[in-house]
Chain A
Amino acid sequence: MSNTDKNEILNKMQERVNLIFKNSDCSAILDKALTMKQDDIIKSVTDSGLRGRGGAGFPTGLKWKGAAAASGNIKYIICNADEGEPGTFKDRRILEEEADKVITGMAICAYAVGVSEGYIYLRGEYNFMKDKLQGECDKWNDKFKSKKLNFTVNVRSGAGAYVCGEETALIESMEGRRGEPRNKPPFPVGAGYMNEPTVVNNVETLAYVATIIDKGADYFKSIGTKDSMGGKVFSVSGDCAVKGIYELPLGMTMQEFVDLFGDGDTKAVQVGGASGTCVPRKNFATTVIGFEGVPTGGSMMLFNSKRSMFNALRNYLEFFEEESCGQCTPCRVGCQQLLKGIEAIRSGERPVSYIEELRKLAVTMSVASKCGLGQSVASPFNSITEHFREEICY
Chain B
Amino acid sequence: MKQVGFYGFTALGLLLFPFAIHPIGGYPGLATEILIVGIAAIGFNLLLGYAGLLSYGQAMFYGVGSYMALLTVQRFFPQWPSIWLSLLVAIVFVTVMALVIGLLTVRLYGIYFALLTLAFAQMFYFIVFQWKSLTRGDDGLQVITNATLQLGFTSIDLTRTFPDFELGPFGNLHDVHYWYAFAAIITLVVLAFMRALIRSQFGEILAAIRENEERSTFVGFDPLRYKVAAFTIAGMLTGLSGGLKGLYEASTGVDTLSIDMSGSFVIFAVVGGIKTLFGPLVGTGLIMYLQNVVSGNPVFGNGWRLIEGLIFVAVIVFLPGGLLGSFKKKRAHAALANAVRVSPVEGRP
A interacts with B: no
Binding site for B on A (CB under 8 A): none
Binding site for A on B (CB under 8 A): none
